[in-house]
Amino acid sequence: MFAQALTLVLPALAKRDDQLSAIQRLPLPDGTLPVGVGLLVAGVSSYAFFKVGVKALGTDGFKPISSLWFATFFLAPGFFLPIEQELGRALAQRLGLGQGGRPVVRRILPLAGALVAIVCLAILAASGAITSKFFEGDWVVTAALLVGFISYAPAHIARGICSGHGRFASYGIVMGADGGSRIIGCIVLWAAGVTNTGAYAFTVALAPLVGVAVVFARGDLKTEQGPPAPWAEVTPNLGWLLLGSVFAAGLVNAGPIAVDLFKDDAPPSVVTKFSYGVLLGRVPLFLFQAVQAALLPRLSRLAVRGEIAEFKHGFRRLLLVVIGVGALGVAGSALLGPFMLKKVYDADLSHRTITMLVLGTAIYMVALTIAQAVIALHGHALVALGWGLGMLTFVLVTWLGSNDLYLRVELGLVTSSITATVVFWLALRQRLAVGVVPSASSMMDAATDMPFET
């Protein structure tokens, strides 16, 4: 059924990115609209997936899927986003020089394969504990975690190829098709009366391949032959980006995982309910991504032209907008959070829990914004340090903090984001004080450094 629908929509998607549409002619930065649409589809489908999944499986029955969700979106962006970043950066540089990028893709594939092998071996080694602790003893969900992680490797490589060649419509398709196919698959299973957890787990696991298939059919994963690519061309900052990305993605998904670890004999529903709160707390991230898409291209152009005073002014403006978005989210959650959670998911969480979760998200957004500026100023190692200290803070606070299950995790999320923000602010001051100047490649690393999926 879904394959037939995909066949019908493929012709509509066949317009190439070099054929300007009415939307592409609007006076917005390149890629803002197609990437924004992809983000919107992915984000809305996330909320819908949880809603439909709980209706199909019940609050306790959906808990393994909730755990799978957050584990997948910790592992996949954490390990594959740096591959996407470095691939996109290297391809963009070659495009500017009029050189083909196929050797770059061939060079990056073994790196992605090595990461897949290492992480999959680690999952297999810990599969017994993972299955019993997080997936309620369901080995099929553990298998789905493996398949899902593997599936995101080609998805991130496809995104890197699309961003490196400026094929923003296809980039948006990869993101949007992931979320769209996930919710369509879930609705089909629910309508058919399927109550098998494994079926929903593999809907999550296989969804990223749909977008890859679509852009492959469009021909937007093609690359041209070019001069050989040395390792240095694709790995100058890969190690630091990888380290920082793993910690950053871990922090944004750590809440439900920590609740699961500390819940002891509490029912599985406590994890599912907390997951609802985390999803609600991510609403400001949608506005954050829209702001980034609109302002970062301008900052990139200023940086490349060497207009550092204007770059600083633009960054301060971006930071103020992000703080405003975060403050609005915190105020809204304090007033309407429990009401909205009850309306959307028929679940109860306290004002404190919802407000703390949104506060943690708001501070995380500020940390991420400053981290992007530090990366733009070639501070990749400093960003890895900041996220690493943030993760250490989370572990210590949740371990030694309150005996209240939710409160200890809430405090961990807020304090870890504060720690990272302080480190990044000090790092930014240091980079500006010594007169470091952004480059086109460092700005591209910064603009694509979003270690979370919606």
State the average pLDDT for the chain: 84
What is d(CA 214, CA 174) in angstroms, rounded to the nearest whole number? 8
Residue 60 near residue 53 (C-beta atoms within 8 A): no
Choose between 1 and 306: higher pLDDT.
306
Is the per-residue pLDDT at 1 higher than 50? Answer: no
- Counting residues of the chain whose pLDDT is more than 70, the rounded percentage is 84
pLDDT band of residue 298 (cuts 50, 70, 90) is: low
CA distances from 326 to 39, 135, 371 (A): 19, 33, 16
Contacts of 306 by beta carbon, 8 Å cutoff, 6+ apart:
437
CB 314 within 8 A of CB 323: no
Beta strands in 90-146, from DSSP E residues, in sequence order: none
Q: For 353-374, how does the pLDDT look when each residue is reduced to its tens digit (9 = 90+)?
A: 899 999 999 999 899 989 988 8
pTM of the model: 0.85
Can you give the pLDDT at residue 29? 46
What residues contact 85, with CB distance under 8 A and at least 6 apart? 160, 241, 444, 445, 448, 449
Q: What is the pLDDT of residues 13-46, one digit of tens each?
A: 444 444 444 434 433 445 556 666 777 777 788 8
Which residues touch 2 (CB under 8 Å, ≥6 apart)? 181, 184, 185, 188
CA distance 171 to 177: 10
Q: What share of the chain is helix, strand, coil (3-state, %, to 5)?
A: 80, 0, 20
